[in-house]
A and B are shown apart, each in its own frame.
Chain A
Amino acid sequence: MVDINFQNGTVTARLSGEIDHHIAPQLRGQIDARCESLRPARLVLDFGRVGFMDSSGIGLVMGRYRMISLLGGRLEVVNIPENLRKIFVLSGLEKLGVMK
């Protein structure tokens, strides 16, 4: 699930539940639709309420990084739970400088 808010030029997508290959396309569709209409300067993906994620979640972050960069904005990934840190580190996403 995702709860999306827009304030002060920032779209914040609060993700929750489980992210896998079945769920990720639904999240992608909702986040991209809001970003394409609002053209925010910043997209924040908040993982604080995500209980499980496989590499589909990494694909979701990488894809949103590309999408928001094309729109001229920047991405921030926040509140990564301890149990998801392992897969984020493995992905090398730290090198993009988006993980806060």
Chain B
Amino acid sequence: MKTVNSMKLSFLSKSVNESFARAAVAAFLLPLDPTVAELADVKTAVSEAVTNAIVHAYPEGYGTVYIEASLTDTGKAIIKIRDKGVGIPDIERAMEPLYTTSSDERAGLGFAVMQSFTDRVRVRSTVGKGTTVTLEKNILRASYGQKRAD
């Protein structure tokens, strides 16, 4: 599996940047010729991961959220959403559906949505150092768009 394209972006952990983040990742995926449904799945999963970082990572103020995305020659999109915030003490618990530490009417479905809307979700976190969420999505028609991705 070879990486054929990659991108990095970073932005302040302000909620107004949630739409920018998912739109940027969606635009990056376009050369793989995703279906409307695949693109919506990725946008939704990215929005959840970015929102988690914005809501939880920097409780004392704003920090930076980093996104790294790559496309492989097998048509897989790999998207890493990373922060250098407080970290998650208990990842297993945080990933339970309906679990939320926020009082702001959050549904507690963030990780459930990420898992349902992508093919693989990995979470690595160290308390006091930050969290990385890696999303993988296979774009099924990718062979049609491969030339453009190259």
Contacts and interface: CB of A to CB of B under 8 A. Distances in A.
Interface residues of B, number: 26
Which of A21, A56, A62, A90 is packed against the most chain B CB atoms within 10 Å? A21
Interface in A57-92: 58-60, 62-63, 83, 86-87, 90-91
B47 A59 contact: no
Contact of A62 (B15, B19, B40, B107): B107
Contacts, number: 65
The DSSP consensus for interface residues of chain A is: helix
Contacts of A52: 22, 40, 43-44, 47
A79 B96 CA distance: 30
Given A21-B18, A86-B117, 20 more contacts: A18-B19, A20-B15, A20-B18, A20-B19, A21-B55, A22-B15, A22-B18, A52-B22, A52-B43, A52-B44, A54-B51, A55-B107, A59-B106, A59-B107, A63-B105, A83-B36, A86-B41, A87-B44, A90-B112, A90-B113
Interface of B: 15-16, 18-19, 22, 36-37, 40-41, 43-44, 47-48, 51, 54-55, 104-107, 109-110, 112-113, 116-117
